[in-house]
Amino acid sequence: MQRILLVDDEPTIREGLRERFAREGFAVSAVGTGAAALDLLLGRGGPALAADCLVLDLMLPDLDGFAVLRTLRQAGADLPVILLTARTDDVDKIVGLELGADDYVVKPFNPRELVARVRVLLRRMAEVRALRETLAGEAAREASAPEPPLALDRGSRSARFRGRPLELRPREFDLLALLADHPGQVFTRETLLDRVWGDDRFIEPRTVDVHIRRLREKLTAIDPTTNPIQTERGLGYRLQL
């Protein structure tokens, strides 16, 4: 049974979501402060909670959601995170994504939609973890076997750059795969949103910039001399290896 950790300081929302997720077949833990969430997830004072997904409110009475998320990522926790926010400011959304959030939902929201988003995110993360296990168990590649600069395996959703594995989140893989399928072709933000995010009406065009920035950082971490994802000013992005 997959476990959800809910963090919200409003008892009505917290308990309502607890009941909703429990009815949907999830094991649920719920707390009202950021410090309590960190204690559980980082094992402060006891065994760490093995949560599969964190639903995290931004407005908390002690640490805000950004601080909680930043601390988790700095500690190496890679569990998927969905932010809940009553603010519609795009800056908050962008900051959350840059800190490592996987999705966000604006209050007020439909609990059914939140559950659906959690299911989609868990399914994608399961694919990523399966990929990591596959890569970890692979035999060493033959030294003589040639490999292209960028190698993508759609079946296992694995990626390698300059012969080294790329650790990509699901959206990052989809975005890179689309660019790699059309090398040299310029894609506008709107086209990338449509092709990668589909009809998700909550996603803003600037989200593409955040994911492109993440991809560039991961690629240049492997090869600092390269910049394969190029910006065509006023137009969009293209992949040029």
> What's the pLDDT tens digit per position in 34-65?
999 999 999 998 899 999 999 999 999 999 99
Residue 58 to residue 87: CA distance in whole angstroms: 9
Q: Which run of H or E residues covers position 94?
A: helix 90-99
Q: What is the pLDDT of residue 181?
A: 95
Whether 162 and 77 share a structural domain:
no
Assess if residue 203 is contained within a domain: yes
Whether 115 and 190 share a structural domain:
no
Whether 154 and 234 share a structural domain:
yes
Query: The whole model's pTM is what?
Result: 0.60
More confident residue, 13 or 206: 13
Which residue, 90, 121, 152, sits at the end of a domain? 121
Q: What is the pLDDT of residue 140?
A: 55
Cis peptide before 146 (omega within 30 of 0): no
Whether 109 and 154 share a structural domain:
no
Whether 83 and 151 share a structural domain:
no
pLDDT band at 89 (very low <50, low <70, confident <90, very high): confident
The CATH number of the domain holding residue 20 is: 3.40.50.2300
Range of the domain at 165: 141-239
Got the DSSP string for 74-119? HTT----EEEEES---HHHHHHHHHHT--EEEESS--HHHHHHHHH
Q: What is the mean pLDDT of residues 195-222?
A: 87
Whether 160 and 232 share a structural domain:
yes
Site of tokens 């893989």: 173
Residue type, 109: F
pLDDT band at 110 (very low <50, low <70, confident <90, very high): very high
Assess if residue 205 is contained within a domain: yes
Assess if residue 163 is contained within a domain: yes
- What total number of domains does the chain contain? 2
Assess if residue 130 is contained within a domain: no
Whether 111 and 18 share a structural domain:
yes
Q: What is the pLDDT of residue 144?
A: 53
Assess if residue 74 is contained within a domain: yes
Residue 188 has pLDDT above 90, yes or no: yes
Mean pLDDT of the chain: 90
pLDDT band at 139 (very low <50, low <70, confident <90, very high): low
In the chain, count H helices and then E strands.
8, 10
Assess if residue 38 is contained within a domain: yes
CB 147 within 8 A of CB 163: yes
Whether 113 and 13 share a structural domain:
yes
The CATH number of the domain holding residue 176 is: 1.10.10.10
CB 122 within 8 A of CB 52: yes
Whether 103 and 23 share a structural domain:
yes
